[in-house]
Amino acid sequence: MSTETKCNPDLVRERAKCTFDVNELINLFYGSEKATKERRHFEDAVLAVKELKDAIPEEYLSHKERYENGVRKATILRDVYRDYKAKHNRDPPPNQITKAVIKDISPFLLHNGMFVPTIAGQGTPEQQAEWLPKAESMQIIGTYAQTELGHGSFIRGLETIATYDPKTEEFVLNNPTLTSFKWWPGGLGSTVNHCVVVAQLYINGKSHGIHPFIAQIRDLDTHKPLPGVKVGEIGPKMGFQTANNGFLGFDNFRIPRKNMLMKNAQVLKDGTFVKGINEKLTYGTMVMVRVGIVGDCSFYAALAATIAVRYSAVRHQSHIKASEPEAQILDYLTQQHKLFIAVASSHVYRNAYLWMEKMYTNVMKELSQDKQDNLPELHATACCLKAVCSRDAGSLVEECRLACGGHGYMASSNLPLTYGVTIAAVTYEGERTVLLLQTARYLMKAWMAALKGKVLSPSVSYLLNSLKESKKPWQNTPEGIVKGFQHVSFGKVKAAYETIQKYMKQGKDYEDAWNLASVQLVKASEAHSRAILCEVSWEAVCSSSASPNLSRVLQQLAQLYLTYWTLETSGDLLLYSNITKDDLIILRDKYEELLVAIRPNAVGLVDGFDLRDEILNSTLGSYDGRVYERLMEEALKSPLNQETVNSSFHKYLKPMMEKAKL
């Protein structure tokens, strides 16, 4: 980073204070020195493409122009990926450079993120051989069309119908009602020509549940919708403006039998339905993406924290001591309280993602050997971690934005867009409450098994330990806090279970009792997630290969996360663990000490996320800290500043002022 000399002097001083090797942190965060080198090399290659640079900020483009610019850049980016693969004989390393190019969301996100994985995960080897090469090389472009106007969460309630016609060996797709129209799929609006359509299968008038089908919806040459297809874009949203979300309806639209993805269940030529070993395997792509979202949360927390911490080091406002110059706002403990939890959480989500990824890979391997025992644990864990990390990450991004004062409200800070994109993950790929209730089902089963003294899966085995350890005194150590969160989860799971029992004893059936207990059930799932996040992240830090200097700082961050959440949820801990008021006072003091201890390394820590200026895309967060210069430079790009007098003066303002004189 040779720009050091041009840097804002505050940032230069901050970097000089850092007590650890930032490059070591970068290599640890991204896996290895080799991984860092490869990622940077690929990012360089992308950024070297001049055509990928925007002439003016996207905010000044119309909705249509923004989309068209997004498609333009997505196709060029795709070429860079292809060339890299051809040259190196492997995919580019994991990277976030798409953010530097497509500032919002790529219209190809669903193609790469769900269309291709669904063919790979749900297709037979023959189906994979037919579609994967075309999809991976972009001869066809697809999306994942599941959600409808009327149903998103309850997918068994989807209304799109696929009726098998054995005479022609085809499925006939129909959307009989307005509510049955697909609504939301990314890229559907104007980009894709294929999609995976999730529809209710009917054979001889009998329903066989929902299944994925591949449908070509647009002509490959003209891009016109095929006869029987009604397709369009759903309009502007809070974010995702370039994702090109769309709607879709079929009217007696025929697809060949082979277009039902048949790895799990099959329809034979004569219309015989062959059930899969587990109908929930059809939901596999969603599980994969939920795991990926935990990793995305780490990225968005890191991005917002980098912007807000660097800005807070450069920004001076008011005095801590009247006799001293105006303070860097990063020196206010309240500011550290707002920001350091975002830095710490990014590491926590990263470790949780790596842990979940391992669990996912193991279960996929087991499923390939027809072993399903660990699928419920994977589903339950992916659901609650996705739900909790996305909501927390959204709140952290917003807190970082607010921590930048007025400038955080500027689009050029990139914090408003980042919030719009991050918070969407609370809803997509399974709405938060709905997913937490899925985990709660699993927790209730685990609790019943615990009561019977059965062996529990690893992620819930603490329920058994907590049952035995409920009398042990509280320990104010990281390990003690992890145990404390497990006790809270234990207490909430038990309370939710007993509430269901109470309602059932009053004569309610299980479903009504479940609904009446559901606020508690959601809270139990949240507590379970927090216990996992605390345990996994603390273990990761303790077993890391970092040098003593770096290890000390990473432990401080992990302890900050543990202590922050102890204080945030002190009521729960007082209710369900053996923590005392005195312990909480000690932890409150410890929390303040941690903020002070982390303060000198704050800039080093966000440098350690290694997010380039192009990825940050922020006037407030660049490496050199030229905040005020950039704010002005960006403001001057406004089309309103390209003319001295705007025509509205002559059209409206002047006549108004003249009328006022009369």
Ligand X SMILES: CCCCCCCCCCCCC/C=C/C(=O)SCCNC(=O)CCNC(=O)[C@H](O)C(C)(C)COP(=O)(O)OP(=O)(O)OC[C@H]1O[C@@H](n2cnc3c(N)ncnc32)[C@H](O)[C@@H]1OP(=O)(O)O
Ligand Y SMILES: Cc1cc2nc3c(=O)[nH]c(=O)nc-3n(C[C@H](O)[C@H](O)[C@H](O)COP(=O)(O)OP(=O)(O)OC[C@H]3O[C@@H](n4cnc5c(N)ncnc54)[C@H](O)[C@@H]3O)c2cc1C
Report residue 631 as tokens. Answer: 């704010």
Of the two residues 142 and 430, which places its CB atom closer to ligand X in the complex? 430
Residue 640 DSSP symbol: G
Site for ligand X, rule CB under 6 A: 109, 113-114, 144, 146-147, 152-156, 186, 280, 283, 286-289, 291-292, 375-376, 379, 428-430, 434, 438, 441
CB of 103 to ligand Y, least distance (A): 16
CB of 485 to ligand Y, least distance (A): 24
Of 93, 107, 152, 625, the one binding ligand Y by CB under 6 A = 152
Phi, psi of 584 (to 5 degrees): -65, -35
Report residue 358 as tokens. Answer: 């391992």
* Separation between Cα atoms, residue 574 and residue 526, nearest integer Å: 17
* Separation between Cα atoms, residue 185 and residue 200, nearest integer Å: 18
What does 433 interact with, of ligand Y, ligand X, none (CB < 5 to 8 A by kind)?
ligand Y
Of the two residues 143 and 577, which places its CB atom closer to ligand X in the complex? 143
Of the two residues 97 and 426, which places its CB atom closer to ligand Y in the complex? 426
Of 429, 469, 539, 629, the catalytic one is: 429
Closest listed residue to residue 148, CA positions, set 115, 118, 174, 179:
179
Residue 321 DSSP symbol: S
CB of 396 to ligand Y, least distance (A): 19
429 is catalytic: yes
CB of 186 to ligand Y, least distance (A): 4
Of 19, 23, 137, 153, the one binding ligand Y by CB under 6 A = 153
* Separation between Cα atoms, residue 245 and residue 181, nearest integer Å: 13
Q: DSSP of 149-213, one letter per residue? A: SS-SS-GGG---EEEEETTTTEEEEE--SGGGSEE--TTTTTT-SEEEEEEEEEETTEEEEEEEE
Phi, psi of 548 (to 5 degrees): -55, -40
Beta bridge pairs of residue 236: none
Of the two residues 41 and 445, which places its CB atom closer to ligand X in the complex? 445
Q: Does 430 bind ligand Y (CB under 6 A)?
A: yes
CB of 242 to ligand Y, least distance (A): 12
Asked if 350 contacts 29 with a C-beta cutoff of 8 angstroms, the reply is yes
CB of 151 to ligand X, least distance (A): 9
* Separation between Cα atoms, residue 190 and residue 397, nearest integer Å: 31
Q: Which stretch binds ligand Y (CB under 6 A): 8-16, 130-138, 146-154, 647-655?
A: 146-154
Of the two residues 111 and 310, which places its CB atom closer to ligand Y in the complex? 111
Q: How far apart are the first and last CA of the chain?
A: 64
Of the two residues 431 and 634, which places its CB atom closer to ligand Y in the complex? 431
* Separation between Cα atoms, residue 346 and residue 304, nearest integer Å: 10
* Separation between Cα atoms, residue 127 and residue 498, nearest integer Å: 48
User: Is residue 144 helix, strand or coil?
Assistant: strand
Report residue 180 as tokens. Answer: 């049955």
Of the two residues 121 and 186, which places its CB atom closer to ligand X in the complex? 186
CB of 652 to ligand Y, least distance (A): 37
What does 556 interact with, of ligand Y, ligand X, none (CB < 5 to 8 A by kind)?
none
Interaction mask 178-217, ligand Y, x per CB under 6 A? ------xxx-------------------------------
Phi, psi of 650 (to 5 degrees): -70, -35
How many residues bind ligand Y (CB under 6 A)? The answer is 22
Interaction mask 597-626, ligand Y, x per CB under 6 A? ------------------------------
Of 428, 474, 514, 565, the one binding ligand Y by CB under 6 A = 428
Q: Which residues contact 418 (CB under 8 A, 6 or more apart)?
A: 300, 303, 304, 397, 401
Q: Does 110 bind ligand Y (CB under 6 A)?
A: yes
Q: Is 474 left (phi over 0), alpha (psi -120 to 50) or beta?
A: beta
What does 240 interact with, of ligand Y, ligand X, none (CB < 5 to 8 A by kind)?
ligand Y
- Please identify every residue annotated as catalytic: 429
Residue ranges that bind ligand Y, judged by CB under 6 A: 110, 144-147, 151-153, 184-186, 240, 245, 424, 427-431, 433-434, 437
